[in-house]
Structure 1
Amino acid sequence: MKTALITGANKSIGFEAARQLLQNGYTVYLGSRDLQKGQQAAQQLYAEGLTQVEPLQLDVTNSASIAAARQALGQKTQALDVLINNAGILGGMMQPPLGTSIGTIREVFDTNVFGVIEVTQAFIDLLRQSPAPRIVNVTSGLGSLTLHNDPSWKYYPVKGAAYQPSKAALNAYTIMLAYELRDTPFKVNAVDPGYTATDFNHHSGPGSVTDAAARVVKAALIGPDGPTSQFFSDDNAPETGVSPW
């Protein structure tokens, strides 16, 4: 049975992605900063008859937590087929470049960029044991530098000093990682789940969690002939599904 680890999986898009992977026959490890919340999420899935799921305490901003999670997962499986770096924070709704504190920017980057890098590096050895490993970095359409410089883009006025640059940096890391793994079976892609109604944005988005998670899971299930080093976004590019960087 294939295995998947999802960070920030106790609620919203991460939780729904776990449900959909379970429905596709995967064993899923629910990464959750708060273990109790992870256990509650797992119990909800158990109640739906989706039993191949286990909570895993994982704070992506804490090196000791990441190392402990890697050790714990290594005792449960010899290989990891899918890593979904889903955990992320917004850092507040208003982030003017000249008025946002360095502390806020560092906090957002710590989760959205450095956390992704450290988790990926920690679990890469288990991923290498899979015959078809997949890494999905959950990004945002707001991470497109090309579109942020286009006054005709629908989200052009939505600028910020922390969240948007953090996702642009995550996109850049995705490209670099995909390049390093280019001659291997890995597929490494960034996925914009779309403007989705979640706690993250006070449920202001028009999209559903089900559809958002399906976009993430689609990249996790991509076949051997599928692309790598792509920025998938139905929101930014409804015709092609691939956003400009």
Structure 2
Amino acid sequence: MKTVLITGANRSIGFETARQLLQQGYYVYLGCRDGQKGQEAVKQLQSEGLKQVEPVEIDVDDPASIKAARYTLGQKTGVLDVLINNAGISGGSPQHGFDADLSVFRGVFTTNFFGVIAMTQAFIDLLRQSPEPRIVNVTSGLGSLTLQNDPSWKHYTVKPASYVASKAALNAYTIVMAYNLRDTRFKINVVDPCYTATDFNNHSGPGTVPDAAARIVKAATFDAAGPTGQFFSDDNAPETGISPW
């Protein structure tokens, strides 16, 4: 049975991603900052007959929490097949590049960028034990530097400074990871769940949570012939699904 750890998984897209992977037979470690909320999320899934799930308390902003989660998971399994770095924050709005407080940038980067690095480094040893290891970094279509600089792009005017910068940095880090492990069995990609109606955006997005989660699940379950080092976004590239960086 394949195993997956998902951060920020007690609600919204992360929670639905867990549900869909459980339906495909994965054993899910449901990562969340609040242990109580994690327990409640697990109970909800188990009430749906999805029993192969348990919570893992983890705060990607806190190195000690990540270390503790790695120890906890290591007591349960010697192999991790999939790591989905889903936890993220927006930093609020507005975020003008010249007057947004530096603390906002630091906070957003700590979660969206440095948290991903810390998680990947902490769990890479367990991933290396998998015959088909997968890492999915959840990004945003707004992280495309090519499109952010294109006045004809439909989201051209949407530029929350710290959020855009953090996702562009995440995309760059993913390219590096995929290159570093290019001659291995790893598949490492970024996925844009697309503009989805969630608490994250006050439910302003037109997309649905199940559709958003399905995009993440697709990359998490690539077979040996699947791509690596790609930026998937149905929103940015509806015909090919591969976004320009």
Q: Do both proteins adopt the same fold according to a TM-score greater than 0.5, normalized to the shorter chain?
A: yes
Cα distance between partner residues in 1 of 2:159 and 2:207? 21
Task: Please give the residue correspondences for 1:1-245 in structure 2 after superposition, counting only pairs within 5 Å.
Answer: 1-245=1-245
How far is 1:99 from its partner? 1.1
Q: Which amino acid aligns with 2:142?
A: L
Residue 3 of structure 1 aligns to which amino acid in structure 2?
A: T
Q: Deviations over 1:73-111 (max 9, x none)?
A: 001111000000000000002100011000000000000
Amino acid corresponding to residue 43 of structure 2 in structure 1: Q
Alpha-carbon distance in 1 for matches of 2:2, 2:222:
14
The letter of the residue matching 2:109 is F
Aligned equivalents of 1:223, 1:27: Cα separation in 2 = 18
Pairwise CA distance, 1:128: 0.2
Q: Secondary structure at the match of 1:136?
A: strand
Alpha-carbon distance in 2 for matches of 1:19, 1:190: 20
| CA RMSD between the two structures | 0.4
What amino acid maps onto 2:210 in structure 1? T
Three-state SS of the structure 2 residue aligned to 1:135 is: strand
Identity of aligned residues (%): 72
What is the CA deviation profile of residues 112-167 of structure 1, one whole-angstrom value per residue up to 9, with x for unaligned ones? 00000000000000000000000000000000000001000000000122000000
TM-score (norm 1): 1.00
Aligned equivalents of 2:223 and 2:107: distance in 1?
35
CA distance in 1, matches of 2:214, 2:102: 35
Local SS of the residue matching 1:46: helix
How far apart, CA to CA, are the structure 1 residues paired with 2:159 and 2:223?
35
Task: With the length of structure 2 as denominator, give the TM-score of the two structures.
Answer: 1.00
3-state secondary structure, aligned to 1:30? strand
Q: Which runs of 4+ in 1 moved over 6 A?
A: none
Find the residue that maps to 1:162 and give its secondary structure.
helix
Secondary structure at the counterpart of residue 28 of structure 1: strand
The alignment covers a number of residue pairs equal to 245
**Cα displacement string for residues 216-239 of structure 1 (whole angstroms, at most 9, x for unaligned residues):** 000000110111000000000000
State the distance in 2 between where 1:43 and 1:180 align. Answer: 39
Name the CA distance, whole Å, in 1 between partners of 2:61 and 2:39.
Answer: 20
Any idea what SS the aligned residue of 1:75 has? helix
CA distance in 1 between partners of 2:5 and 2:19 (Å): 12
Distance 2:161 2:205 in 1: 21
Name the SS for the 1:15 alignment partner.
helix
Looking at structure 1, the residues matched to 239 and 232 of structure 2 have their Cα atoms a distance apart, in angstroms, of 11
